Every structure is written in C-alpha cells, then in structure tokens.
Amino acid sequence: MEGLELKQGEVVKHGNPLIVPQYPWEGILTYLYGSILQKGKIYRMWYQAHGIYVSYARSRDGIHWEKPLIRRLSVGKPEMYPTVTTGHGEEDFSGMVGKPFRGKTNVVLDFHMPSVIYDPEDRYRPYKLFGYTDKGYAVAFSRDGIHFREYDHNPVIPLMRFPDKTKRKTWFSDVSPVFRDSLKKKFVAHVKTYKTDAEGRIRRCVGYAESEDFLHWSKPETLWVPSESEDQLAIQKGFQWADFYGLCGFNYGHIYLGLLWLFYIDYEIEKGTHEGKIEVYLAYSLDGKKWERFSDAPLIPLSASGWDTGMVTTANLPLFEEDEILLYYGGSNFSHGVGEGETPYDEKNHRFNIGLAYLRKDGFVYACSRGHLWTKPLKSERGYVKINADTREGRILIDMIKNGRKAKSFAMAGTDALDYTVRTHLNENVVLKVYIEDAKLYSLEVL
C-alpha cells in the first residue's frame, strides 16, 4: 500500500434507547454486559438487569423489544457482587435502587455480566452462557435460550483475587466477554485481570482463557496492559489515567477485531472502586493474543447530552446484517462511581439503558486519500469483482494483473455502493492493483 491512509469508519447512533428499566427487578439498570443473537427472524437479547439478573428480551425488527414474563422470582433487597473489598468490608452499595418483588419476570438466571454463545453443533444444549458469580466464573446451558441449567461443577474459573496491600483492598476479576473463535476452534474468554503499575496504581487489564468444551478453561493470563498512550487519551479528556474495562473480541476474516471498553479514571474511591467514564474503541489483533487500538478516536463515543453521557459498554459480539453492522450498546447518564457510598443513585433521573449504533457493511475501516494498493493473488472462480466503496467525491481504478501483465481495467466513480459488481470474464488467479483518488474503499471481493 502506498500513499493511502486507513481510517476508522463512522458510527451512526439510532438515537433514543431501545430498552429502558420498567420493572421492579430492573431498578434503574438495564445494560449490556450481555449478548444479542438473531435466530431465524427473531432477535434475542440477554441483558443485565439491576445487579445480578440475566434478563431476556426479543424483537422481530431489532428495534422494538418485548420482555416476556417467563420465570417466577422472589426478589428481596437487590445485591451486586463486589468488584473490590477493603479492610472495612465489601463495597458499599447502599445507594442501590430497588424494591422487593414477587411474581413473574423475564429473568432467566442469577448471573452477572453474561455472554451467550449459540452452538448449533450441540444438539441438546446449543445455548451456552458464561457469567460472573461470587464464586468466580460459571456456565449454564439451555436448549431454547430461556430455561438454563447451571453446570453442576461451577465455577469453571475460580474467583480471581488481586490484593493491593498498600490500600488494604482486594480486587476481583468480573467482566469477561466470551466468543467462539472459529479460527482456533475454541471458546475464548477475555477475563479482566489486574496489574500494579510503577506509581502503585491498580490497573485493569485484558486477560485470556480458552476452552474446547466450555467446561474446562485454561488458567487466565494477562494479554494487554494499559500504557502511556491510553493514559494520554484520558488526560486529554480531563481525567488522570485509563484502564481496560473489558474487551469484546471476535473473528473478522483471518484476523480479530475487538470492542475495547476504555475506562477514563478520575480518582479511586477510598472504600470502593474508581470514579470515571467509559467509551468504546476499536482494537485489532493478527493472532488473537497481541492487541492494539486502531485509533485515538472512540468507535462509540459518549454523547454530549442525553441518555449515554456517562458510560458505554457493548454486547459481546456485533450483529452482521446483509447491508450493515449492528452495534448494540448500553449507555448511562451517570459516571462509574455513582451508586457507591456517599454518591447514591438518583432514582428519578439516573438510568442505564440499551441502544443501537450502525456501521455500514465492512465499515470498521476504510482506505482513502490518494495512492494505490496491491492485493495478494486471488482466485476468481466466476469472473466477478465486488466493491464496497464511496466514490461520490472521487474514483477508484482497478487493474487486474494476470501473469505480470494488465489483463483488464475498470473504474468506479460518482456513487456510493455496498456491492458494486463488475464482470471480468477472468476465471483464474489474478492480482488487483487498486488506485484510490479521494474515495473511500471499504472492501473488495473476488468471485
């Protein structure tokens, strides 16, 4: 590639939230940590309600959601599993908003931060759920995605403790998005780990554990530690430093992409966690182990006003539609430290809702500016090339090279198309030399 830039695609937010708290067991919190899958014509969502309830919703269009009341539940005072304990005891969640309840709910499991994987190869328990409990990471299984049975030998990864002796605190690993790695044929959990930096600060990091059967997991290892570049992003936004709150990794062709939750930290709460805000960045990896941020600009930024000004977290995986990518995310209008100790929730105004952002097909990254690129040899079986590009302000020229010589040429200009298709009549191995002039090239496909 010469003379070209790779830039991050532009996310468009839907606007209003799609799911909001409305039931007693939800309190003021309906958020993603969670998963969204499309099965047939139905979208299915497993989201976090209040502190530890995995709740279920469904939709026919991905926009309008219903919460079927499917499980009888008795809710006393809602509780949250602690992130940290101190010499004075656990985090103080005295500010939790919630009311006792008895009756039917849309709660399917009492886990925290769930990831749901659909495994069609498993006939009897295709829905696999991985989540956090006070004993560590646990799994559950379901045939229909609603009636889950917990694994008899939970936890599959024991509770991970990270002591900070200087402050008499112990931190727990909680966030852990999971996906099925189609390249390695394994399940991967990006568990949260902690490291102490040179300044004595405890830092949230991205960890890694894997499993072939969803039951037996490798010992978690730390893959990615926040660096000075992340701290500088936080400082530019008026904070002190930044941690990795979570990483939602997934396969994308022969590499990996990830939705990185970057936590800008203002200060550490004396008897609790940290105060700050969270935005989502695009990350990538060639091998699933060594990760980098793609850009210094967030992929899903906080809004300047409205319902998602405080924190943004995402579903464990995007949904890939025919013409677009759906990024479901949770958004709050309050910061991370609210709800603890001296900063209680405002029951009337504070909310954690669930919304939606869009990317065009293959829209994570595009090539632009003025220059050219060469492809590797590509096998053309049907004699077509399909282009996803925006050439409204420029053009793209493509030479097809066969045996070192230009065999065909064609151009795309003055249009914005996801599947601009050209018939080449070349049914063999070819190399493409692509010239870009003030256009945006998202992807090429040789057919």
Name the residue type at position 45: M
Name the residue type at position 13: K
Query: CB neighbours (10 Å) of residue 11?
Result: 20
Asked if 107 and 78 count as a contact pair (C-beta separation under 8 A), the reply is no
Lowest mean pLDDT among 127-141, 202-216, 249-263, 339-353: 339-353
Question: Is the pLDDT at 84 greater than 90, yes or no?
Answer: no
CATH architecture of the region 8-360: 5 Propeller (2.115)
Task: With cut-offs at 50, 70 and 90, classify the pLDDT of residue 78.
Answer: low
In terms of C-beta density within 10 A (0-12 exposed, 13-18 middle, 19 or more buried), how is residue 433 classed? Answer: middle
Res 58: pLDDT: 98
Fold match between 8-360 and 371-446?
A: no
Rounded average pLDDT over 43-54? 91
Res 80: pLDDT: 67
Give the count of alpha carbons within 13 A of 27, CB side only: 26
Asked if 444 and 375 count as a contact pair (C-beta separation under 8 A), the reply is yes
Task: With cut-offs at 50, 70 and 90, classify the pLDDT of residue 343.
Answer: confident
Query: What is the rounded CA–CA span in Å between residue 392 and residue 417?
Result: 10
pLDDT, tens digit (0-9, with 9 covering 90-100), for 346-382: 989 999 999 999 999 999 999 999 999 999 999 888 9
- DSSP alpha helices (H): ranges in 174-333? 228-236
- So where are the chain's domains? 8-360, 371-446
Rounded average pLDDT over 89-95? 58
What is the percent of the chain where pLDDT is above 90?
A: 83
Of 57, 47, 50, 8, the residue nearest 27 (C-alpha) = 50
Res 168: pLDDT: 85
Question: Is the pLDDT at 145 greater than 90, yes or no?
Answer: yes
Res 403: pLDDT: 87
pLDDT, tens digit (0-9, with 9 covering 90-100), for 18-35: 999 999 889 899 999 899
Query: CB neighbours (10 Å) of residue 80?
Result: 18
Asked if 193 and 225 count as a contact pair (C-beta separation under 8 A), the reply is no
Task: With cut-offs at 50, 70 and 90, classify the pLDDT of residue 175.
Answer: very high
Contacts of 230 (CB under 8 A, 6+ apart): 241, 242, 243, 244, 262, 293
DSSP letters spanning 207-218: EEEEESSSSS-P
Residue 207 tokens, joined:
């960890």
Asked if 156 and 215 count as a contact pair (C-beta separation under 8 A), the reply is yes
Res 74: pLDDT: 82
pLDDT, tens digit (0-9, with 9 covering 90-100), for 370-413: 999 999 999 888 999 999 999 999 999 999 998 889 999 999 99
Res 340: pLDDT: 79
- Residue 133 has φ and ψ, to the nearest 5°, of -135, 180
Question: Is the pLDDT at 296 greater than 90, yes or no?
Answer: yes
Asked if 398 and 409 count as a contact pair (C-beta separation under 8 A), the reply is yes
Average pLDDT, the chain: 93
CATH code linked to domain 371-446: 2.60.120
pLDDT, tens digit (0-9, with 9 covering 90-100), for 252-291: 999 999 999 999 999 999 888 999 999 999 999 999 999 9
Contacts of 404 (CB under 8 A, 6+ apart): none
Question: Is the pLDDT at 125 greater than 60, yes or no?
Answer: yes
SS3 of residue 309 by DSSP: coil
Measured over the CA atoms of residue 215, residue 46, residue 359 and residue 320, the dihedral's sign is positive
Question: Is the pLDDT at 38 greater than 70, yes or no?
Answer: yes
What is the percent of the chain where pLDDT is above 70?
A: 96
Res 339: pLDDT: 84
